[in-house]
Structure 1
Amino acid sequence: MALAPSPPALPPNPALPLPWWGRAGRGALLGARARVRAVRAALRPPSQWSVGSWRGRPAQQQPEYPDKADLEDVLRTVGTFPPIVFAGEARTLEERLAEAAVGRAFLLQGGDCAESFKEFNANNIRDTFRVLLQMSVVLMFGGQMPVVKVGRMAGQFAKPRSDGFEERNGLKLPSYRGDNINGDAFNGESRLPDPHRMIRAYSQSAATLNLLRAFATGGYAAMQRVAQWNLDFTENSEQGDRYMELAHRVDEALGFMSAAGLPLDHPIMTTAEFWTSHECLLLPYEQALTREDSTTGLYYDCSAHFLWVGERTRQLDGAHVEFLRGIANPLGIKVSDKMDPAELVRLIDILNPENRAGRITIITRMGPENMRVKLPHLIRAVRGAGQIVTWVTDPMHGNTMKAPCGLKTRSFDRILMAAMGIGDCATTSQRGDLDIPYPLSIGRGCYHYTGDRGRGDITCRRTARGGYQPTRPSAASPLRSSPSPCAAARRASAFCNDIQTWCYNT
């Protein structure tokens, strides 16, 4: 399908800071971080807000628990648990995202559509982390800029539903809303919301993050291991060969650094910063894990470093926006082609009245055709209001189709088109790569597989004749390619652009 014509160039916005190519190197970078810290130091919790003030607003997508007393008992228990993440970590992530917001870093976010209790094991966590490491190396080497790595994991359980009930053969039951709420088996006992699932979700999230911390700081993420990150299923394939070509070039660079006397055992070379994220959906659970930071007096949702509000829950007067406006974590806003530009500006103003860089990430989820038509209007509105945000493309959602094998799938051709489409909306700048002083960030989708590995899911591969051949992936095969190219990392395209089309079961 032909894409719509590219929109006209957007006018520059002098109110926003220049991107990285218009700055004076490390000194300016440190100055930007200092400004972020100064703004945050002056922050106070919003007026007329409390951790429970959302309860006075209409709350969408919340389950109906049959035993309210049992629910309150579970929430009191969760409220006594230690935080999964810490306020200082969330503040550091905001600083990293502030660099991305002005074009000095690249944001990569990926993981399962929804985590499950059945698929929880160390190998799956390791493989997700490993693929994100692979992709970050490709983007960092090709784009010559830092990559902020955010996992959609250690808490991504809840699923928003278009209908609160599901009917099969005349039997109507509550919809499956994620393993932290109810079960996916179609029977009355499984579909009944159970608050005790929140305790199991907390335990699994804490265990997942514990393993991720070990991988990130225990030597697994060392740059000297780039070649060893390659997944087994890419061996003897063109994609694997291209990745190994990059790995050898990285090894050559490391060898030169060592010969020049630069230490390769420095933590910056042997460890990796890694952050967790999930949709802020189940509000009672999020409230139970919200803590006041003793050093700043601000409130942080300590269930994850980064949270986002979804397409179905971003009402301006809704409970989710009310809760999120009072927590100090960096936030994401999911935006489809249905978003009104004026509403987006108002929503950003509610969530980030101080207009601090790194606080807000706009996650666009619209097909490539809609992106060319709708996204420029959103960009103009945000820029016209002088709001500083990080623009991210989610090329997975909005590109769903049904393959001949009978499953909902996503063609990698269209994923690539969507990833490139946001760049085409931002590549006519008078200053260089981008027309706006934000990076083109790939989030939640250039790498994003749906977590149904343990339920007999089928992967569909496009054949030479244009059909789809079903194959069964292993638990260690979340994605069969390196990330796609984008405007912020054009030089990475030599390693990313020659890939097959793969579809994943939703």
Structure 2
Amino acid sequence: MSFYNLSPIQALPLATMMKHHRFKAHALVLTKKCRHLLNLGFENTTKQNLGPSHLANTETPSLHLHRHPRPEASHVKPRTANARRGHRALLCHRNPNPRAPLKKCDLNPSNLIVILFSKPTTMAISSTSNSLIPTKSLIPQTHSLVPSTKLRPGLRSKPVHAPSIVAVHAAEPAKNPVVSDKPKSQAQPPQPQPPTAVRTGKWTVESWKSKKALQLPEYPNQEDLDSVLRTLDAFPPIVFAGEARTLEERLGEAALGNAFLLQGGDCAESFKEFNANNIRDTFRILLQMSVVMMFGGQMPVIKVGRMAGQFAKPRSDPFEEKNGVKLPSYRGDNVNGDSFDEKSRIPDPQRMIRAYCQAAATLNLLRAFATGGYAAMQRVTQWNLDFTQHSEQGDRYRELANRVDEALGFMAAAGLTVDHPIMKTTEFWTSHECLLLPYEQSLTRLDSTSGLYYDCSAHMLWVGERTRQLDGAHVEFLRGVANPLGIKVSDKMDPNELVKLIEILNPQNKPGRITVITRMGAENMRVKLPHLIRAVRRAGQIVTWVSDPMHGNTIKAPCGLKTRPFDAIRAEVRAFFDVHEQEGSHPGGVHLEMTGQNVTECIGGSRTVTFDDLSSRYHTHCDPRLNASQSLELAFIIAERLRRSRMRSQQPLASVGL
């Protein structure tokens, strides 16, 4: 829809809003955005004139709207409940001389105007622009903003190039963990309005059974399966709903470019390699990577492990054949065994009990590491793994850690406290692919504090490339649980299909609810990702964009083992940042298959793992993983890109003396 199709109904100075007690909170929110508006730049802009005929009932002369070639959406949380619906609002800058350069004094609220539009429809500034005003508004629908205020006649306005402003429902604050009730099969949760015709029925914990379910094993004995599921029904939740809500809030910040997600861990956890040292080493390398990224990006890093539940794996072929023998494919240790014999490959429901116990034990140890002092920032110099200490990446990390240690020493000498819990603990969450639906259903609980259903097997779940069908069982199950959700997306994803899928899973457009995890390969990333970003932006949807540089770069080595070249992984990460810089959107995080062990599964890196080295320490049960040295090397690459983005964002502020 053209900008001219919207009818302006009121134009008011921001300073006037601030004097009105009812809307002062909203004005303060807009005032805080003033500094951010400068970061977007004003050179090479395109002017579009809104003539007096379009603003006749506002007694406001013509305004000039400045549009950056790569506009980006920005979302503002409302401060009151009645600000969650109503008119559209656009923040503009007022200046008698539209061609005059922007000055620091121009950021005064008296020079900013808020224009209200009466039609609750998507706004596009031009046919080629992707900037729009999304689905919820800053202004209540049933009231005019403040009593009418006349502007000086003949005054021309020059608006700051502002991103579209939209108020969204904030994620509910985390409450104390409450053990939730197990849902009854006949109980109905609160129902969101279905966004498309694909989802018209009410959701229940069992409604997925009426849909086509892919990638599920066929258990030979239904009675054994039912018995195991009843046992899981009675078990306590592994995670709590309040923790998942907190993660959703953090991911909402990443969607706005104010935080960065680091999600990593095993391709598939195994029963054989379950021990405390492996868990500790993976946790430790994630801590190291987060410090490197946080130091470079000067922003919080959200640490989410592919741990404490990442057992099941989808397979491209339901059967595997060797030497003329055909057996069911290995689907993860919570389904069957990886040994190539008939007994191991038969799906065994008892494995779900063992997977639950291992996930609970893993999370228990992770909680102890995160809150018991191991993750204290004062220990930053002690996190280096033995086999990385004398490598190039180990030396770089040691130098960075010493700088952090010096900063902490300065704080202590200046009398600033370093004993605050934030310095001695860290937030850490768990995630896995939502694949084995009977297991996920058995661990779904009704949260007594919110009245919503949560899958308490993990804080965050994602739907895979092979199971994200709009009318499929996995999407049906996930649309009813309130956990933060990820969507794995390859170069085969159609932009319109992605928009529909997001509508199904996030009809309320809550920030932090949806994380789009792209896995395409570097060249496909540069071609395909821009179309996905533009489609999501046109729909006004709030998502966190994350790169999975692993799955699009798997090759077969001459020895027959699967591997991933580090150079290809690095190229895809760089392409991810380049595309988001080009499109004016936020690179929100990375999703890695990695381990703290000294494995040789991915070739390349500064320590140069070769094809000949693969078989020496190839321990994965599924796909190849980055080892600790390669993971840390990638963290420094990401930190440098975050630092460059930060420096670019500060240049416009420096140019006006801020």
**Alignment TM-score > 0.5, same fold:** yes
SS at match of 1:470: helix
> Paired residue for 1:318?
472
* Structure 2: distance between partners of 1:379 and 1:477: 28
Residue pairs, 1:200-219, within 5 angstroms: 200-219=354-373
Q: Does 1:157 align with 2:342?
A: no
> Paired residue for 1:479?
628
Does the 8 Å CA contact 2:174/2:243 hold for their aligned counterparts? Answer: no
> Paired residue for 2:171?
37
> Paired residue for 1:131?
285
* Structure 1: distance between partners of 2:461 and 2:468: 13
Q: CA shift at 1:322, angstroms?
A: 0.2
Task: Give the direction of change, closer, same or farther, for the CA distance of 1:137–1:283 in structure 2 (3 Å limit).
Answer: same
Task: Give the direction of change, closer, same or farther, for the CA distance of 1:326–1:390 in structure 2 (3 Å limit).
Answer: same
Q: CA shift at 1:260, angstroms?
A: 1.7
Task: Give the direction of change, closer, same or farther, for the CA distance of 1:464–1:132 in structure 2 (3 Å limit).
Answer: closer
> Paired residue for 1:97?
251
Q: CA shift at 1:262, angstroms?
A: 1.4
Q: CA shift at 1:449, angstroms?
A: 2.5
> Paired residue for 2:499?
345
Residue pairs, 1:338-377, within 5 angstroms: 338-377=492-531
Q: Does 1:399 align with 2:569?
A: no
Task: Give the direction of change, closer, same or farther, for the CA distance of 1:460–1:339 in structure 2 (3 Å limit).
Answer: closer
Does the 8 Å CA contact 1:13/1:386 hold for their aligned counterparts? Answer: no
> Paired residue for 1:419?
573
Residue type of the alignment partner of 1:131: I
Residue pairs, 1:12-411, within 5 angstroms: 12-14=71-73, 16-17=75-76, 35-37=169-171, 44-46=190-192, 48-411=202-565
SS at match of 1:441: strand
Does the 8 Å CA contact 1:405/1:460 hold for their aligned counterparts? Answer: no
Residue type of the alignment partner of 1:231: L
Q: CA shift at 1:294, angstroms?
A: 0.5
Q: Percent identity?
A: 68
* Structure 2: distance between partners of 1:362 and 1:405: 34
Q: CA shift at 1:285, angstroms?
A: 0.1
> Paired residue for 2:643?
491
* Structure 2: distance between partners of 1:128 and 1:465: 21
SS at match of 1:85: coil
- The runs of 5 or more residues in structure 2 that have no matched partner are 1-67, 78-90, 92-106, 108-165, 176-188, 193-200, 620-624, 646-658
TM-superposition CA deviations, 1:474-502 (whole Å, max 9, x none): 99993214215248843389xxxxxxxxx
* Structure 1: distance between partners of 2:489 and 2:416: 44
Task: Give the direction of change, closer, same or farther, for the CA distance of 1:126–1:225 in structure 2 (3 Å limit).
Answer: same
Q: Which has the higher contact order (CA 8 A, sep 6+)?
A: 1
Q: Does 1:441 align with 2:588?
A: yes
TM-superposition CA deviations, 1:143-176 (whole Å, max 9, x none): 0000000000000000000011111122111110
Does the 8 Å CA contact 2:305/2:430 hold for their aligned counterparts? Answer: yes
Q: CA shift at 1:70, angstroms?
A: 0.8
Q: CA shift at 1:10, angstroms?
A: 7.1
Task: Give the direction of change, closer, same or farther, for the CA distance of 1:468–1:115 in structure 2 (3 Å limit).
Answer: same
* Structure 1: distance between partners of 2:447 and 2:432: 21
Q: How many residues align?
A: 462
- Aligned-pair Cα RMSD in Å: 2.9
Larger mean Cα displacement after TM superposition, 182-191 or 203-212 = 182-191
- The runs of 5 or more residues in structure 1 that have no matched partner are 1-8, 25-31, 430-434, 494-506
* Structure 2: distance between partners of 1:33 and 1:141: 31
Task: Give the direction of change, closer, same or farther, for the CA distance of 1:487–1:71 in structure 2 (3 Å limit).
Answer: same
Q: CA shift at 1:259, angstroms?
A: 1.4
Does the 8 Å CA contact 1:114/1:450 hold for their aligned counterparts? Answer: no
Larger mean Cα displacement after TM superposition, 394-403 or 366-375 = 394-403
